[in-house]
Amino acid sequence: MKRSFDRARQGSQAGPRRCQPTGRYRYVRIRWRLLFALIDSVGCQLWRIGSAIGAALPWGPRSQADDPRSILLVQLDHLGDAVLTAGVLPALRRRFPRARIEVLAAPWNHQVFAACPEVDRLHVSRINRFTRGFRAGWIAATFWWGWKLRRERFDLAIDVRGEFPLALILWLAGAHRRLGWDCGGGGFLLTDRAHYVPGRPEIESRLALLAEVGVEPDPGLMCREPWFDAGPDARRCIDDLLDGLGKPSQPLFVLHIGAGTQAKRWQAERWRELLGRIIVEHNAKVVLIGAGDERPWAAAITGGLAWPGAHDWTGRLNLVETAALIERACVFVGADSGPAHLAAAVGTPAVVLFSGTNRVNQWRPWGRRVVVLRHDVACSPCHRQTCPWMEHPCMSGLTALAVSRAIQALRASSPGTKHAGLGDFDPATDPPGREAVLRTTISSARNLG
């Protein structure tokens, strides 16, 4: 195993790695491209035979609905994808104001759509292909949801992601029109297909997909204006929680310390240094957020000690409460994950730490005040969930000093924000007093423990 990693390292150091072209299919692994090429080849032939038989029957083929009264949107993948999809729902509603819009979502993203006024009904698939950990039964669940939704008799069904199992759900549901991508396999199951452009920003891809059914882009969204509303209940809850965190005049920073995969996670010691810098340089209160199973990671960052001005809220908030908290922050810092997209969606200045797994231009959060930090490595984009290198170079190459500078630049450029005027912090040129204050703050946290 070690020798194979060493060979890969030597190859990556020899020069930039070129991603294999995906051709018609967007899958990275060649085995999936070959599999779906075979499925599509056989499926197209069977579809032609079935269509010929159907046309010869007395009732003929089913007509398509140009003015749908019922629309199904399928979004079973990640939280960040759901946040981006929420941004295009108002345009879909304006195009079809009388239609009933329903969404098939997953447990981890359904609250996004529950908060959208455009959604009339929500279905939650608790077992699907994107369930982490134990995923047995997702194939059966695909067929079960297809047949369950069939009774709703949808006029239009939309697969935002573009994958064969999702196209199968649309077809099994019996929707008159089935809209999806030409890149995920199962295109013969669709009536309308959009051409997928690799590397295009995901918001623009969603708008290109909906353009196939006459949906015009929202001008505000194209200008990267905020589009997600957490709602008054979530805001009241967060206001009550923040009342006990010290002076209201102190700036609030929110740090999302987790990540969807190990490959996107920043090291605990880097988070620890950044936490100290924020407390010292901005006289701020800092809230750490993350999933419930990330509490040990928060403890690793703080050393299990009580830091002055730092508060661990991992596992404490639901999704809309998280959005309301981020909305109250002067700056959000987090990895390339769902909460970073939430920060852009509510308009909070954000510093996003990108690993080498994905393409930045395609997956960066869609907001006006978003700074993406990334350390370029030869093996990017790798599309891995775990990094094979012990030093994790794409994330270890991001320093707390670089993040601190990005934060100061954001605060200086944000309208209505009083900047502390500290400038860039560089231990090599700055007075030694501030570095000493930083060390003292970290030491104080240890002593408090």
**pTM of the complete model:** 0.83
Average the pLDDT over each of 25-29, 110-114, 428-432 and give the range with the smallest value: 428-432
Residue 30 has pLDDT above 90, yes or no: no
**pLDDT tens for each residue of 236-253:** 999 999 998 877 788 999
**pLDDT tens for each residue of 313-349:** 999 999 999 999 999 999 999 998 999 999 999 999 9
**28 or 362: whose pLDDT is higher?**
362
Where in the chain are all domains bearing CATH 3.40.50.2000? 63-222, 232-448
Per-residue confidence at 446, pLDDT binned at 50, 70, 90? Answer: very low
Residue 41: count other Cβ atoms within 10 Å of its Cβ. 10
pLDDT at 4: 38
**pLDDT tens for each residue of 36-82:** 677 777 777 776 776 666 555 554 455 456 789 999 999 999 999 99
Give the architecture (CATH level 2) of 63-222: 3-Layer(aba) Sandwich (3.40)
Sign of the CA dihedral with 205 first, then 208, 210, and 216 last: positive
Q: Are 70 and 156 in contact (CB under 8 A)?
A: yes
Please give the Cα distance from 119 to 72 (Å, whole number). 10
pLDDT at 51: 65
Per-residue confidence at 434, pLDDT binned at 50, 70, 90? Answer: very low
Please give the Cα distance from 424 to 251 (Å, whole number). 18
**pLDDT tens for each residue of 253-292:** 999 998 877 778 899 899 999 999 999 999 999 999 999 8
Please give the Cα distance from 264 to 355 (Å, whole number). 5
- Report the pLDDT averaged over residues 351-378: 88
Q: How many CA atoms lie within 13 A of 88 on its CB side?
A: 23
Give the architecture (CATH level 2) of 232-448: 3-Layer(aba) Sandwich (3.40)
pLDDT at 12: 39
Q: Are 394 and 375 in contact (CB under 8 A)?
A: yes
pLDDT at 17: 40
Residue 20 has pLDDT above 90, yes or no: no
- Report the pLDDT averaged over residues 205-219: 95
Q: Are 433 and 275 in contact (CB under 8 A)?
A: no
What H or E segment, with its residue span, contains residue 405?
Answer: helix 400-413
- Report the pLDDT averaged over residues 207-216: 95
Residue 135 has pLDDT above 70, yes or no: no
- What's the mean per-residue pLDDT of the chain? 82
Please give the Cα distance from 85 to 177 (Å, whole number). 19
φ/ψ of 310, rounded to 5, equals -105, 140
Going by the DSSP 8-state scheme, the letter that residue 246 receives in this structure is S
